[in-house]
Amino acid sequence: MRTFTLLLLAITLFTTNLCFSQSGKRIKINNYTQTTINQMIAAGIDLRCGAIFEEDYIQIELSEQDLDMLDNTNITYDVLISDLTTFYQEQTNEDLPLAIQQLEMAKAQSVAQRGSVASSSINNFLQYQGCD
At residue 61, the 3 state secondary structure works out as: strand
Asked if residues 42 and 74 have their Cβ atoms less than 8 Å apart, the reply is no
Per-residue pLDDT tens digits for 80-132: 999 999 999 999 999 989 889 999 999 888 877 775 555 555 665 665 566 65
Q: Indicate the pTM of the whole model.
A: 0.61
Domain 22-97 of CATH type 3.30.70: yes
In 21-83, alpha helices (H): 34-43, 64-72
3-state helix, strand, coil in the chain (%, to 5): 55, 15, 35
Query: Do residues 54 and 25 lie in contact, with contact meaning Cβ atoms separated by under 8 Å?
Result: no
pLDDT of 43 higher than 60 = yes
- pLDDT tens digit sequence for 18-39: 455 568 999 999 999 999 999 9
> So what's the pLDDT on residue 75?
94
